[in-house]
Amino acid sequence: MISAAQDCHQSIIQLKNISFSYGDQKVIRNLDFVVKERDFVGIIGSNGAGKTTLLRMIVGLLPAAEGSIELFGQPIRKFRDWERIGYVPQKNSFNPLFPATVREVVLSGLYYRKNMFRRIGREHQQKCDDALEVMRIQDIADKRIGQLSGGQQQRVFLARALINRPDLLILDEPTKGIDIETQASFFELITHMHAHHNMTFLMVTHDIDMVNGYLGESPVQQNGKIQFFVRHSHEIENCKKQDLQHSLV
């Protein structure tokens, strides 16, 4: 039987000898890296360093040219439990003219790969309500996504990523294009979630002050121009699961 302490050290992501190139330019070379349960990993690097490429490989949108990726102990080619992973891509990948309400965008997070045509029932609506409440956006649930501010849109995308109550949350520059005050509020929210909920975080960001303040001033590893900063939260008392509908204040 696995003890609570051992269980909190299980591998969530394991990268083995990963390489990736765009043409003749190799952006990731022979990367070995492990993300443990309840780690918060911050990824820093210049534009073109391969940060977004790495995240896209981890969520299965790009194949690694070399090496292997394991998710929750399974090779990525065999992994099917995509609902366990919440992914918030870069904001610039979103079309603000897309004719959908906040509620519709959040509900779309239920359509993961193995269940593309599921019918939305009462249970799923409740999950949506919970995610909206956690992000404090239930009052704008019927607004069109394109009518919202940048900070509000990021809360919507985070609610969409959270609707399945994932074990792993992957964020690609989540505060890009939003004001300083909203950035601070966003970081306060996700660091609180990390401290008090049974979730693992992997985040690309250019905010070195946030990284240094929460994850430490020295990277634990570097690959090319990419630096990895890690905060471990493996204490037994912090490994108790809490539902998303619990208040995050």
Task: List the chain domain ranges.
Answer: 4-238
Contact 143, 157 (CB under 8 A): no
Long-range contacts: 1-9, Cβ < 8 Å, 24+?
4/236, 4/239, 5/234, 5/236, 7/37, 7/239, 8/37, 8/38, 8/234, 8/235, 8/236, 8/239, 9/36, 9/37, 9/234
- The predicted-structure confidence for 154-197, as pLDDT tens digits, reads as follows 889 889 998 988 999 999 998 887 778 878 888 888 888 888 88
Q: Determine the pLDDT at residue 75.
A: 97
Distance of CA 191 to the CA centre of its chain: 12
CATH superfamily for domain 4-238: P-loop containing nucleotide triphosphate hydrolases (3.40.50.300)
What is the DSSP-derived secondary structure letter of residue 33?
A: E
pLDDT at residue 124, rounded to an integer? 82
pLDDT of residue 246: 45
Confidence check: pLDDT of 60 > 50: yes
Phi, psi (degrees; rounded to nearest 5) at 135: -85, 0
Report the distance separating Cα 88 and Cα 91, nearest Å.
Answer: 8
